[in-house]
Chains A and B, each alone.
Chain A
Amino acid sequence: MTVSKPQTRRQRRGWLRDLRRLALFVLRRTLALLVTVLMGVYLTIIIANMGGRVDEIRRVQIRSTIAEEVRASPEFSDLGAERRNDLIEERVQLEVERLNLDEPFIYRSFDYLNQAVRLNLGRAEQMTSDRGSRRVRDIITERLPATLVLFGTANLLVFFTAVFVALRLSRRYGSALDRTVIGLAPSSAAPGWFYGIFLILVFAFILPVLPAGGMLAVPPPQGTLAYALSVLQHMALPVAAMFISQIFISIYSWRTFFLIHASEDYVEMARAKGLPERAIERRYILRPTLAPIVTSFLLMLIGLWSGAIILEQVFNWPGLGTLLFQAIGHRDTPVIIGGVVIFAYLLAATVFVLDILYAILDPRVRVGPE
């Protein structure tokens, strides 16, 4: 079969039109996401600094800390009051200059934003990384592996178990197992750290067979295998806590989702045609629901970034959640912004990728007017 020239031209015009639309779409989405990221980050800067009020708090803290250091130090105990107050003033001034608190907050806020959007995370103001670096990048990347390994394991476990079990349950609607899962779903109202406390009590103190917290044995074992085993051993309780907390509601949620799709007319039609269950599952249920599954999966993946503050605290896990907690406690704006800006970029990138994936996965999603 041959294709006529006018038809080829029409096809080419069609591709060009599609490409143009796609480019416009990409541009529009990119700009929209960039603006969203900018707004999100700037809002974080404003909130983290309480609109500049943190400057006032910090100045008072600096003065108070230095005054107390000088007062308590025997080195300065015989200084006259005037000389001592001069010393306090000099040291306060140095610290104020170090933290650029002598600049108006509004200028600094745009400086923070400028550096953040360029992913120049800069230096922390108070904190240092565990290894002793002041660079925010080092501070964050040092904690990232611990968070990824713990929350990645738990979330992937929850996600795939939930999808797999939910798919099965959607076919055994009303069975004893189905009713049990529905009955247990409210147990997810309690967060992971809540179960963590009980697990620690039972497995670390009453039995005791597992460690109560931390990421490694004390002292850390030598050798890669022993090291890996030790990490696994320390992960057991937090992963179990997260799993217990999330699994039933996840199964319930996916099961309901699959049930809705399983009762669509085209699925009934397939059943009526006598197609095997696995084929129905794969072609008529999973495929149309792939977009939400992928969305959920990707959002879960980027959700790993933030860790979980309380869970990490309960299990003394050296992850990003603990880091964020410490950064907020120290009011270390660059570290807080660093964590947020990376999350914002990851979120924006994920949304962008999802927009493209939707178009690929679901033919009903089209770009622009027909």
Chain B
Amino acid sequence: MVAAALAAIGTPAPGASGSDPAGSEPSQRRGALVDRVVFTEESNPGKVVGQIETGARHVLAQGITNAVIHRQLLNARQVTFAVSYGSSAELTLNPAGPALADGSLNPFGVPAIREALNWLVDRQYIASELYGGLAEPRYLPLSTAFPDYARLAATARKLELAYSYQPERARRIITREMNALGARLRDGRWHYDGEPVRLKLLIRTEDARRQVGDYVANRLEAVDFAVDRLYRTADQAAPIWLASDPAAGKWHLYTGGWVSTVINRDQAQNFADFYTPRGRPSPLWQAYEPSDELDEIAQRLERRDYDSSAQRRELMIRALTLAMENSVRVWLVDQLNLWPHAANVELAVDLAGGVAGSRLWPYTLRFTDRVGGEVIVSSPSVLTDPWNPVAGTNWLYDQMMIRALQDAAVLPDPFTGLYWPQRLAGAEVTIVEDTPVQRTHDWLTLDRQAEITVPPDTWIAWDAGAGRFVTVGERYPEGLTARTRTRLRFEQGYLDRRWHDGTRMSLADMVLPWILEFARADEASALIDRSHVPTHETFREHFRGWRIVSREPLVVDVYSDQIYPDAETIVAARTPVVLPWHVLALGIRAETSGELAFSSDKADRRSVPWLSLVSGPSLPVLDRHREGALADGYVPFRRTLAEYVGESAPARRYRALGEWRAERDHYWVGDGPFYLESVHPVAGTLVLARFPDFPDRSDKWLRFTSVPIPEPAVDGPITVALDESARFRLSITSGGDPYPPEAIRTVSYLLFDGAGVLSHQGTAEPTDGGWRITLPRDRIETLGAGANRLEVTVRSDRVALPRFATHVFATIPADGELPQ
């Protein structure tokens, strides 16, 4: 009865979500697997978890790092969660000195003391106790969840063991270095020039870093430093650690944190970013004094100045060692973010970005027990900034919703970050020789040439005065070369698809965004936008032109000097944006007439509304321009665009847009698996509905709904006589099922003796139903009697995250007598 009453006034009874009986199998259906997705604003994650438990909500688009809510999640029977690894915590150290401007001593001006902090803190304790298990220890400037860490897993493991918790070693080094600095230990505290050495520790208060700060302070006090604990929020701390001169000594340590919402497949830049003055033009970075070797390697890695993957690997290994010796940052943990959702709901979750950063969620979201239905997603923010596809909102949560409304030509693998084709039939990447690029997938090809010449008819710039593209032949009569050519072959019938308002696509939808890219940075254009100019200039530095090779099937060539280590990433970066030209046309008219502006910056400078296609004061202005455009048959940049407008006559498009506006009350037209059904700004609610004309089968991306993280387990003898060989068995599973052997890239191992010294390393050999590690007698003999450790590292092709397993065994003398 209560449920009926609630339903009568629009509140679904808990658990009631409705479903579409038609198309009961994902493979029989096209487009999205649910009928509607409702986004609603709620900033209290604990409450949302409770609502998911009662069935009133289904997904929370906010990562949870709170241990209390973690427990709540573990106790909730109707709620499960996905995990992402995008954020990390570290200790930022002030490297100035050791003598500061006021004559005081900064111990962290000495690299050896900075390095000693690695042994002073117990990262395992921080991860398991202070973060309540929602973190994994991190020692190195590489995220433990990203591909570079997996590529260097063996080296990483060695360094991790070398820098594991050894407080006595830390104390010994600190004592030695402090004495060398002239400091003296008196009454259990270090003194310098008769004054106690007081360390100012800036502790962030908003999250678990508060406890981390207290823990670090305790550890520093344990090695006889006096510590001032300065509890500060981000706003309060930033002027101190980021803006003040490090030599002024306003702080010594800061509990820093970093976030990445995408899987970063190339972290080589991190050494320059975090250890050299080139990282940022801020006082702290300018105080960094890396060794010449670290500086040179960081610079080479930053410039991608290497010839092969092997050379890059060598540079990375050396850089890791040097970075640990330098230790202007002491990395502590990679934090886990939990993304709750109903137990009967499934979706692809990005390993770095979680649910909010997932590109595949619109293609995979579904109820596991039925097809169709309505999913309610709670988001901390809805419509944070105005929505327009040119320079509108950039907020993570807005972008999450927008991704459901736009279809992309390529989509990233949520577990490896490598791109897969969505609207491409294939791609050919050509690079100049000696460029370190690799290809993983076979949907694209990678070739090398001695030189890549850009054809003269390629478009390279825009002439705002003449309203046409400038070709390479005109701009560079002497010819132009590029480092890459990317040929994008779109799928058959790519432009036969329809926009959400029912109009058929045309090449103009691809050409107009290109024109805007140039026109918005051109002083001669009415669309000039100062905020776009710096970014555009950077783009121009590597852009070498594009051209349409064929219209059906659509083939586009893009030339550029910009290189990424993965050919898949190069394709993704070159793929042009496609947007409905008739919607952009209204914005262009409104901006040209000075009534609206695409960007926040321009809107503020001109004191006009920031263009929003979905709500607010922009809509009446766009209404007027739609009527004007219909009356005039308006085509923006007509001289160039008219050729590509094709069948989609302006009148037809504007009329369809008018009907769309009348029906939906907004102007957001896309081509994604969902369309924007309705917008309720003040209530903080958006409704997305399944686009029935979406061309793909619904199960196209379903393979990405569960993370294939390998779970290795080592089994073997507990004791081995020194005159015997030993054999260890390794099983690799995922979710209880055997891991496909073809998906395993490498299984390597490290063997440490009783003193913790690396004795041997190698790779495991595949066997029927598992893997095997054989240690011959001579290897065992070199271990000597004692407790040894076998560390196994498993890398998969299907997920960036490497996994580890450990087996401890004792080696005993051949006569069987155990050592005393």
Contacts and interface: CB of A to CB of B under 8 A. Distances in A.
B680 A220 contact: yes
Contact of A75 (B38, B269, B538): B538
Nearest to A227: B10
Interface in A71-109: 71-72, 74-83, 85, 87-91, 94-95, 98
Given A60-B242, A77-B269, A134-B604, A233 B682 contact: no
Nearest to B686: A219
Contacts of B50: 204-205, 212
Given A60-B243, A132-B383, A230 B9 contact: yes
Given A131-B682, A230-B11, A57 B534 contact: no
Contact of A214 (B42, B276, B282, B538): B42
Contact of B612 (A132, A217, A316): A132
B180 interface: no
B383 to A, nearest CB: 6
A329 B3 CA distance: 39
Contact of B616 (A61, A132, A331): A132
A69 to B, nearest CB: 9
B755 interface: no
Interface in B364-399: 376, 383-387
A193 B480 CA distance: 68
A79 B538 contact: yes
Given A72-B260, A218-B40, A233 B11 contact: yes
A79 B534 CA distance: 13
A221 B12 CA distance: 11
Contacts of A222: 10
Given A87-B534, A213-B42, A316-B42, A219 B601 contact: no
B376 to A, nearest CB: 6
A80 B683 contact: no
Contacts of A123: 604, 607
A313 B43 CA distance: 8
B386 A94 contact: no
Contacts of A221: 9-10
Contacts of A215: 682-683
Contacts of B530: 94
Nearest to B608: A134
Interface residues of A, number: 69
B2 A209 contact: yes
B615 interface: yes
Given A64-B242, A85-B281, A132-B615, A216 B531 contact: no
B404 to A, nearest CB: 15
B260 A98 contact: no
A322 to B, nearest CB: 9
Contacts of A80: 302-303
B562 A78 contact: yes
Interface in B49-81: 50-51, 53-54, 56
B11 A220 contact: no
Contacts of A128: 384-386, 610
B739 to A, nearest CB: 30
A218 B38 contact: yes
B538 A200 contact: no
Contact of B614 (A132, A214, A216): A132
Contact of A98 (B47, B604, B609): B604
A307 interface: no
B587 to A, nearest CB: 13
Nearest to B374: A219
B807 to A, nearest CB: 39
B242 A213 contact: no
Contacts of A204: 50-51, 54
A342 B685 CA distance: 28
A143 interface: yes
Nearest to A208: B54
A219 B39 CA distance: 8
A211 interface: yes
B47 A91 contact: no
Contacts of B303: 78, 80
A153 interface: no
Contacts of A211: 11, 56
A234 B383 CA distance: 22
A78 B678 CA distance: 41
A112 to B, nearest CB: 16
A132 B681 contact: yes
A85 B235 contact: no
A229 interface: yes
B726 interface: no
B10 A217 contact: yes
B273 interface: yes
B573 A63 contact: no
B10 A212 contact: no
B272 interface: yes
A249 B687 CA distance: 43
Interface string A294-319: 00000000000000000001101010
A89 B281 contact: yes
Contacts of A214: 40-42, 683-684
Given A87-B538, A132-B614, A146 B604 contact: no
Contact of A132 (B273, B276, B535, B618): B618
Interface string B223-239: 00000000000011011
10 nearest interchain CB pairs? A221-B10, A81-B278, A131-B616, A132-B616, A132-B612, A217-B10, A130-B681, A132-B386, A90-B534, A217-B11
Given A90-B533, A94-B531, 18 more contacts: A61-B238, A63-B242, A71-B280, A78-B563, A79-B538, A85-B278, A123-B604, A132-B612, A132-B616, A133-B617, A135-B609, A208-B56, A212-B51, A213-B44, A214-B41, A214-B42, A218-B376, A227-B10
Interface of B: 2, 6, 8-12, 14, 36, 38, 40-44, 47, 50-51, 53-54, 56, 235-236, 238-239, 242-243, 260-262, 266, 269, 272-273, 276, 278-282, 302-304, 376, 383-387, 530-531, 533-535, 538-539, 541-542, 562-564, 569, 573, 600-601, 603-605, 607, 609-610, 612, 614-618, 678, 680-685, 687
25 contacts: A57-B239, A71-B273, A72-B261, A74-B569, A79-B538, A80-B302, A87-B534, A90-B533, A94-B534, A123-B604, A130-B681, A130-B684, A131-B681, A132-B383, A142-B682, A204-B54, A208-B56, A214-B683, A216-B680, A218-B38, A219-B10, A221-B10, A222-B10, A233-B11, A316-B42
